[in-house]
Amino acid sequence: MPDPPIVVGLGELLWDVFPDLRRPGGAPANVAFQAGQLGCRGTICSRVGCDPLGDELVRFLSGQGLATDWVQRDPLHPTGTVTVDASRANHPTYVIHENVAWDHIALDRGLRQLISSASAVCFGTLAQRSATSRATIQEALTEVSRQCLIVYDVNLRQHWYDREWIESSLAKAHYVKLNTDEVTVLSDLLEIGAADHFLFAEAIRQRYQVDVVCVTRGAAGCVMFGDGETVDREGVAVKVADAVGAGDAFTAAWIYGRLQGWPLKAQAAFANEVGAMVASRPGAMPPLRHEFARLAERFP
């Protein structure tokens, strides 16, 4: 039996702090966690503090069967936290605290070795807010193998984005995912001048040589634009517990379907199902390994 594909989540690892509790989170970390539940070797590359919150995160990940070898420890900066307001379940809001450990991810030898052996790498915009982590992410992406799938989940948060970072990220990506609000923002920021999803996606694909652009629409599902192919999938109706991490689960499932060689239509349908399943549970990392396995049996 071949080894499971390595799916790397490169970027922020943190605590989502709700009014009554805290849960592990961070978009790339969520993607790696869910990829692990889907049967890949999900691997988080990030940085946490040498503090009790960092210790607790590492223990949690180890308890879930994820390797923590590439979670760096920072003696100077605290473990990251995000204050989450989930009073509107479908539209949580976030306050992302600054100058934390994941702003200082280092490109060390271990990270270089891992990246070179990855089957897929997922990264976003937020972890590039600091010069240190941005340089690490951008250089790491140049060291992947030719077969590696590079996925850019745009994932704009607060004011933490810049045209230069976004264009550099788009130019390195094979798959790009963003939501309808982000289409509007990037259409203006990149001077594309087309909020229509099809025209926007074609502009992104042609300008930055992206293979597939996916626009997610929450409960309304997603639309994927590939080379000569457009797949429009309706959403999956569920009772939403909170939407935190649902988009990241969608991304992990999309990556999984692509690595399995499924057609784009099956990738979209599976990603919708997985994202909805996570939205129906509290938190970004609910245990769903067995449910995912049963779901995957129905595809492609």
Please answer whether residues 37 and 292 qualify as being in contact, where contact means their C-beta atoms are separated by less than 8 angstroms: yes
Q: What is the pLDDT of residue 90?
A: 66
Give which of 246, 256, 251 is closest to 218, Cα–Cα.
246
- Alpha carbons 55 and 72: distance in angstroms, whole number: 11
Q: Is 186 helix (H, G, I), strand (E, B) or coil?
A: helix
- DSSP for 148-172? PEEEEE----TT---HHHHHHHHHH
Interval 62-96: pLDDT, tens: 998 888 999 999 999 999 999 987 667 667 778 89
Q: What is the pLDDT of residue 151?
A: 98
DSSP label at residue 254:
H
Q: What is the pLDDT of residue 1?
A: 66
Q: What is the pLDDT of residue 93?
A: 78
Q: What is the pLDDT of residue 218?
A: 86
Ordered by where they begin, the domains of the chain are 6-296 (3.40.1190.20)
Pull the structure tokens for residue 160: 């933490």
DSSP E strands in the chain: the ranges are 6-10, 14-17, 22-25, 41-49, 71-74, 80-85, 93-96, 120-124, 149-153, 175-179, 212-216, 222-226, 229-233
- Alpha carbons 300 and 296: distance in angstroms, whole number: 8
pTM, whole model, 2 decimals? 0.94
Q: Is 291 helix (H, G, I), strand (E, B) or coil?
A: helix
> Which residue matches tokens 């790491």?
140
pLDDT along the chain (300 residues), means of 10: 91 91 91 96 97 96 90 98 77 86 96 97 98 98 97 95 97 97 96 89 97 94 93 92 88 98 97 95 89 94
